[in-house]
Structure 1
Amino acid sequence: MKILHVADNLVMGGRERRLLELIKGLIAQQHDIVLVLFRDAIHYKEIHDLPVKLIILKKRFRFDALIYFQLFKICKENKPDLIHSWGGVPSVFSGLAAYVCRKKMVNGMIANSECKPFTMDWNRSRLSFPFSDVIVSNSRIGLKAYGVSRKRGIVITNGFNTKRLAVEYDNVNTLKELDIHNKQLIVGMVASINWRKDYPTFIRAALRVLEQDTNMCFVIVGDGDDRQAIEQMIPIEQMKYFRFLGNRQDVDRFISVFHMGVLASFAEGISNSIMEYMAFGKPVVASDVDGNRELVETNKSAFLVKVGDDETMANKILELFRNDKLASEMGQRGRQIILERLTEEQMTRNYLNLYNKLLDYEAMDN
């Protein structure tokens, strides 16, 4: 089978990570991959080491009509069995190309849990959905938010590549790099620093924790437009308890030294960050939003707290640090959930079954 994947870029992000893992899984199953990117922005450099035909189309502006004609030509020349789009703009152009080339179209633009009328996401969904044979979301709340019917929509959750767990990290050197001594407890949050994530609540919770216990360090992996504003929330005398690492490709190395993972946000689909915390056996404290409820087992693998409730978030962080048995049990249960239900192999199989169904091929065994 030959699949044409179309995405905007391969920068650090949950959707891009999911695309990369799926491509690797499809290659392992001996399928041919053509990957078209609209921007030459590639943080996941390993794509260059894979047997993938990579084509980069440079847009002159957001809705550059020339992109459609280039994509149409690529479709004609490469003759894929189907097209799978990732993101709003790629889905609009892919839908048109699939329609003209008479190819099956998998629309994978839904990766969030909110879609307000007349926003850019809403407009793109209205332009691309009519040309899509199936619309995929990684969460039930995502399909609901975009108003996708059960007949046309399907949920395929993220898949974690368990091979990442086999890597041995030098935690001593990682702690040295972070300037953290061995006895400090580390709270980590891996997320872009922008309006989608509730960093103000995380910072306020951290400051509350430090009022009761200063044997802590809060590590933030990610970057974004709001970083300066978030850093300014921290009093100068408390900055020594925080580490801002920016965007990193070696995220696993830092998660391995976390004692727990936090994700404060306003809305989520299925969070890659929470999946990574769970896979590495870390207990989780996260915002109580729809996608997180789908992913974790509340009070068994994670504590979920009301959005914006920094006091409860701080209390849950302290509770985990004061109860080693509870923290260990929650971490182990989270890891078990990943290994049982959310592996890269399972995600690949689910996508292949979808592709086969669209193309009237025989489905794979579960």
Structure 2
Amino acid sequence: MSTEFGSIRDEVMAQSSGRRFGDGLAVGPDLRGAAEVAVTQALGPLAGARPDLLCVFVCGSGDDAAAAGLRVMELAGARTAIGATAGGVIGDGRGVEGEPAIAVWAAALPGVTVRPVRLEAGLDMMETGSAGLPQPRADDRVGVLLVDPSSFPIARFLDRCNAAYPEFPLVGGLASGAGASGNRLFLDGEIHRDGGVGFLLGGDVAVRTIVSQGCRPIGPTMTVTRAEQNILIELAGLPAYVRLRDILGSLSPAERTLAGRGLHLGIAMNEYAEDHGRGDFLIRGVLGADPQSGAVAVGDVVEPGQTVRFQVRDAEAADEDLTELLAGAVAEGPARGALLFSCNGRGRFMFPTADHDVEAVRAGLRTGGVAGFFAAGEIGPVGGRNQLHGFTASVLAFR
């Protein structure tokens, strides 16, 4: 009796809360017309409610993309609106790459606070203790950022944010639509050509960040016994090159071919964990190896005492990783919508179609209201620290 009552109560609360999410996508050279179609689709599930939050992503160039973004913001009348140009967009259960298209995501979020953020280009991180981000309030849950990578030092910015606001999560992506005309960023009816835009989300809201780095491990975990900056010199007391050579020699021919296409290193983010599993490693590329010196170069600073494990990435590993992480997220509670920032190296470059990630997120979270774009770099927390990633799907799920 109590279980039945609890189910009815939860359903009534879900309906009465007024939380609604919608997404839309339209394709075609008439981006202004596509904008009108996409925003109408996204607003439909809101049942006439004014959106508290709107995101728009435009695959197009220059003035046409700017006009389309402005049209979406004008028609939606959202309290807060952000967006960016991109090389591909995601919405309506599909991904579209390399052709004119527009994706729109809208949410009615009563009881939730949304604070817009504008990051100026050329920000001097060394003199700005707040790193240009507003001080998170006690009830702020997450920040979402869209950044122009050519004009804003996002890696340094994240380092400063990690120091200023420990464990405050940031997610988002780097605008990927830059051509001769550069990127466009959208914020509350205005267009910016540099810096970044975003928002802080707080109040009565529950969210979950999911960062799928798309790799699977090869060989054992090892302790770094000697390293200088990004150069691995010794792993578990032997030259790093020898350790790597032995691991590659133990693989099947197919796995060795895969490693030759893209070998990575996972750096454990928590040295005190007894076991290091999926999601516990920050993935960085292996840049090269020198048989004579025995050193291996990787794409990040590595320090003695850290735990590392070599990794490979392919479509199968990326699918498995995303599916497992989504299952873990939905086990904590159902999702009602999500923003998806997928690397522009995924899509059709990694999978049979550009639809893979959005289909996986909708199925894994058992929800609609999913939109985003193919980014030139993805922002998301791993091991309690915000990181800049590549070949990653970074998801913000609303629970």
Give TM-score, length-normalised by structure 2: 0.23
**Could you say which structure has the greater relative contact order, defined with CA pairs below 8 angstroms and 6 or more residues apart?**
2
- Where is the strand percentage greater, Structure 1 or Structure 2? 2
Give TM-score, length-normalised by structure 1: 0.25
- Where is the helix percentage greater, Structure 1 or Structure 2? 1
